[in-house]
Amino acid sequence: MTPPDARRIEELSLNSSAPPGQLLYDGWIVRLAPGKAKRARSINPFFPSVRPLDEKLGYCAALYEQAGLPLLLRMTPFCQPADLDAELERRGYGLLEKTSVRSAPVAAPRERAPEPEPLGEWIDAVARLRGSTAAQREAHRARLDGLPLAKRALALREGGDVLATGLTIVEGDCAGLFDIVTHPEARRRGHGRRLVAALLATAHALGARHAYLQVESGNAAAIALYDGFGFTERYTYAYRGREGTG
């Protein structure tokens, strides 16, 4: 099967991370969920616009202030207009962390996919590993409960304790890997490799033949892990926001 191009991967990512609190304003996908992940509480300038930029920023700033969230814009190679990034920089919107979007083919696994976790219990485990607030945990739950795509939550345990988590979300023949989190005291012990292998086996069982994921560009250990599964960089994105936001 033909692998998805970069723009299609971005569409898949947007679909897989869509929160209930989402609006469309003059070509901007405005997300207002109080989640831990920035992709659920930022603006995606994905479609053409016609309104003046200052007018749009003012309107969106009021929405985010009302929601009690910092104004963030997610800048990808697909943002429109092409000079938007430079215009935001000129207005004092600084760059936050850079993220790499990577993809790989999904081969037939050597072992069967493991049984999925109950979603509610798994969300609680992810929140504990991340140190999420109660509001962030419930926003995560609401987003996944409302997602109209096949999803399977996985966890690795030791002595009853969850050491690592991950999620496979499938649309068509493509799977996104999300929420890959390992307990700080359990790192460098091969749990991440076992988890990614299980996520890919689950994706294959659900009919996916291509996978994508997102990882912070400065996370050398995670990138090395994903390199071992054949993931290569397709594009990068970063967030822009006022000083002190994040």
pTM (two decimals):
0.93
pLDDT along the chain (246 residues), means of 10: 92 94 94 88 95 96 95 96 94 93 94 89 92 91 93 89 93 96 75 92 97 95 95 97 74
Amino acid in the structure at residue 232? T
Q: In a 10 Å sphere around its CB, with 0-12 CB exposed, 13-18 middle and 19+ buried, how is residue 102 labelled? A: buried
pLDDT at 114: 86
pLDDT at 196: 95
pLDDT at 183: 79
Place of tokens 């994508």: 212
Assigned architecture for domain 104-232:
3-Layer(aba) Sandwich (3.40)
Please, where are the H alpha helices in the chain?
Answer: 6-16, 53-67, 84-90, 119-130, 134-145, 191-205, 220-227
pLDDT at 144: 94
Measured CA to CA, the distance from residue 59 to residue 128 in angstroms comes to: 35
Measured CA to CA, the distance from residue 157 to residue 189 in angstroms comes to: 13
Q: Are 22 and 61 in contact (CB under 8 A)?
A: no
Measured CA to CA, the distance from residue 137 to residue 218 in angstroms comes to: 26
Structural domain boundaries in the chain: 6-99, 104-232
